[in-house]
Amino acid sequence: MPAFDSKRINRAVEKANSDPDFVDYAVGQLAGLQFPEFKRHIIEYSRSINADEDVIALVESLNGYMKFRDQYHVHKALQESVTARKKRSR
């Protein structure tokens, strides 16, 4: 069984494609997290603050092998991910 629900992640990425402020909102939810941090800890933190399920799904789309330096690094990674998926779907 996969660790993440790809349909839920795709829905969150589509939401980010249609609403440019969604990535800003999602990253804003990470204000209390101590960086640097890996994806799994970012997900755990998001769940601990009862973040919206779409926010958690968007965070799940991050690269699991990177250690993110700060909120800006997460923001840039999410923007790149959303942009790459948007280009592939055209």
Query: Which residues constitute the domain of residue 25?
Result: 6-88
Residue 78, domain member (yes or no):
yes
Residue 84, domain member (yes or no):
yes
pLDDT, position 81: 81
Residues linked to residue 67 through DSSP beta bridges, in sequence order: 38
pLDDT, position 61: 93
pLDDT exceeds 70 at position 85: no
The conformational region for residue 50 under phi > 0 = left, psi -120 to 50 = alpha, else beta, is: left
Nearest to 85 by CA among 3, 2, 17, 6: 17
Q: What are 22-78's pLDDT values in tens digits?
A: 999 999 999 999 999 999 999 999 999 999 999 999 999 999 999 999 999 999 999
Whole-model pTM: value is: 0.87
Residue 1, domain member (yes or no):
no
Could you tell me how many residues make up the chain? 90
**CB-CB contact of 57 with 8 (8 Å):** yes
Number of domains in the chain: 1
Residue 81, domain member (yes or no):
yes
User: What letter would DSSP give residue 34?
Assistant: P
Query: How confident is the model over 18-24, as a mean pLDDT?
Result: 92
Residue 66, domain member (yes or no):
yes
